[in-house]
Structure 1
Amino acid sequence: MHFEYNNEHEHSIEKFELMLRSNEVGFFDSDEFEQIIEHYLNVGQMVTARKAISLALSQHPSSVTIRLFKAEMLIFDNHFKEAHALLDELYEMEPNNAELFIQKANIYSKTENHDKAIKLLNEALDLTEDQADVYNLIGMEFLFMEDYSNAKVNFMKCLELDDQDYAALYNIIYCFDFLKENQQAIDYLNKYLDTNPYSEVAWHQVGKQYFDLKEYEKSLSAFDFAIISDDTFVGAYLEKGKVLEKLGRYNEAIFNYELTLGLDDPTSFAYLRLGKCHLKLGNEEEAIKYLKRTVKEDPLLDKGWIAIVDFYTERLNYQRALNYLDKAIEIDGDNALYWIRFAVLNNKLNFFEEAEYGYRKAIELGNYEFDTWIDRADILIQLGEWRAAIITLEHGLEFYPNNPDLECRLSGVYYLTGKPFKGKYYLQNCLKAEPEQIIAFELLFPKVYKSDEIQQLITGL
């Protein structure tokens, strides 16, 4: 249910709020209450909306519209049984009221019976004057079902009826993207632009499609048209900057990113891209200045912290890199990317126990990259932590079965712990796959390598 506000309705809201503050009960006609309730629902003030519904029902108990608001609130509060009963009662009074079908569909949607919701919404289509909204709701139901083709069709019908519904346009492009239909998306957007040639949103989306297709010159042209349509469109400048970076035109990219800083509140994304561009141009002071602004603007943006850490790491300033990494971990200690860098930096500084802890944390947080297993195992071997090394290597083999690097190390550790049978098994496996692993074995386990048993095994191969 949607109403147009005017000064009279704004006055009704002010009068209602004055009534709440004074604890006096005033009279409002049903139209006023409908406007008041709709206002509070739209702004998300549910407590006040409930008060308005309660008072409205006390003054207009037979109003179907106000009782529909009551049903909507019951659904919001997950009181589905009561809402069903109320909607059934209202259906007996107004069987052709589209809103009844829409609210029933809302119940089925929230209880994940999306097929039933779609059926009810299709019935509502025949009864409503606002078909665009209903097509949009049907599209959302198909999205919930991950049926992107049918979702796309219904969002398109919505946009045909209301070509300024940019939410529907975004949803259409989302479906195209999920279906990996970039060219079809471009064709659709071009048709839309035939009748809406100054739609900055459509040009922006065309640019993003061409960017995904790596057709950067066409992408650039589309973003230029978006900017011509709206020269304050921050998103278009940011996307244009990304394209210019891909084309190696870093100074132009910087110009576009800097423009966004004056058009709206600065974004961490713009600061980060400015830092990256200056890095490409060798402007180290400017680069680090913008990278630091990135994390100041958004301390939760891990790309900003990682860029700073990598900046100092590449310049061999490991201690400073570690200082910034400590700040990042203090803010978000569950970021595996931080812990990997923590391990690498501590390893470079010969803080092996700290490095091992970093790799362990990364694994606990779901980083199962091959290098993580190898690097942690190598540190454990260096520390003489044989049992932990065996556990790490065996765990690694679950993700990378029969990997010669892992088996080479596991062989050596088993020999060191007095389990030559297992040691021989893994060494034979790895050398059959990669004979050159014997070089790594000699470097990692020189004493074991020199033993008669290993020499005989090598000779036998």
Structure 2
Amino acid sequence: MKNINKYLQEVDEHIKNKNYNDAFTLCNNILSINSNNIEAIFKAGYCSYKLKKYDISMMHFVRASLLEKFNINKAIYKYYIGRCYDCFGAYKEALEYFKNAYNLDNSNKYYTLWIGITYAKTAVNDIDYNNSLMYLSMSLGSEDYLVYGYIGFCHFQLGNYNKAITYLDKSVKLKDDDYLSRYYLGNAYFIIQLYDKALEHLSEAVKLKDDDFNNWFSLGLLNKVIDENTLSDECFEKARNIALNNDNIEESLNCFIKLADYQNDEYLNYLYLGICYAKLESYKDAMHYLLKSIDINNKYDNNYLAYHWIGYINYMDSEYEDAVKYLEKSVSLNSYNEENYMTFLWIGDCYFKLGNYKKASINLKKSLELKDDEPDAYKVMSELYLKMGMKDKYRHYRNKYKSLIKNDDTDMNDFYNKWNDYFQDNYYTIENSIFENEVLKQKAFENKIDIKKIYNNALGFCNECNEDIVLDESYYNAKKVDISYFINFLFQDINLNDLYNLYSYSTEKK
């Protein structure tokens, strides 16, 4: 017991200094001595949470919850299980655990705060937003900038823009470096046509986070409305570059749809829209927008990418003659691009399938000259020589292909074996029920355009306004925005607040 108390003191010191790995290791040492030490289990779960190992964190909190007798501590375990579910994006389960925590301890405002936040994140109608407002109003005194920020957000979605401004302004005064508070505050001013205020806050949002598409897009819309067309184009260009670098193709697609709607004379919007559709294998839509980008941009030296992707689509559709036509056009407009190795590979494969072995060989060799470790080029080349009856060359290219793909193979069994060894070395046995959870199994958002129309169609913000704002009828027919792209990041420091210091582990504290 003496050693355990010493270890627990060291754990506290490590946690105080944010040395969560060392603290976690010490917790495991304690659990090797006494596997039912609730304090060590709790702190191991907390350290796992801070290390973003949410599945491991949940297992510890579930274990602690089964052993704990005191409701105030059980509530904390439920709260952290809810936070883990929240990090997995399992908001339904998260809400259930936050409510469980609140039922066990209705004096803790963190629980009502997170119930309110989760309702706001998952809201699909006005009832959900009003539920969020009810719980958020009970949370003042916990993290007030978050409370005010989410209350403002809910009023924004309900169309209560003046109320939204009131609460978002309070949030900004408490924490002036939160870009999303500024973003919504700027958009609320934008909607009620107080453009100076809108410009102030949207500009500040861009300064605080200059890699966010929505910040630049809203600022571009605002500048377009106030006839600052040069600035508007610059903002749209920033937004386009951010969308272009987004690894999530569906999110990029939605961004380019917005840009194409409100900057419809820019061929790049249609080009990238077409590329997104091509990557999503929606070839009909892709072809439509790629051809539209070529139609808008008559400077053919800039259209090589459009021709490249049109050729690719025809190649995937086995339209080899059309594929060759467009792919060769692309190469002729951009002959110095090192990435042309794939274009030459596709051209070579097209000629091979069309029976023109000479041109197939020429283009495949060009591909290998640009990139000599592309397995598919060797594969097609081997098939070509086999067809031509040149067995020695067939074997040469076939062996090269096999050696390259062997080097690329990943042994997933090795990965799982290492993980299993790591788990067995570091964690005690826990109820199998935690592994049955589906979330854990699957773990692994005309020159001047009318302002109301912009917000109805471009941002799609909430259409019901309960305050005295005079808008035309089309405004009230707007659809609500899909906010899944950025709702998870609403108010930046949301994951910094925790209940570690509220945990009670002595009889006196309990």
Bigger helix fraction: 1
- TM-score, normalising length: structure 2: 0.46
Computing the radius of gyration from Cα coordinates, the structure with the larger value is 1
- TM-score, normalising length: structure 1: 0.50
Question: Which of 1 and 2 has higher RCO (CA within 8 Å, sep 6+)?
Answer: 2
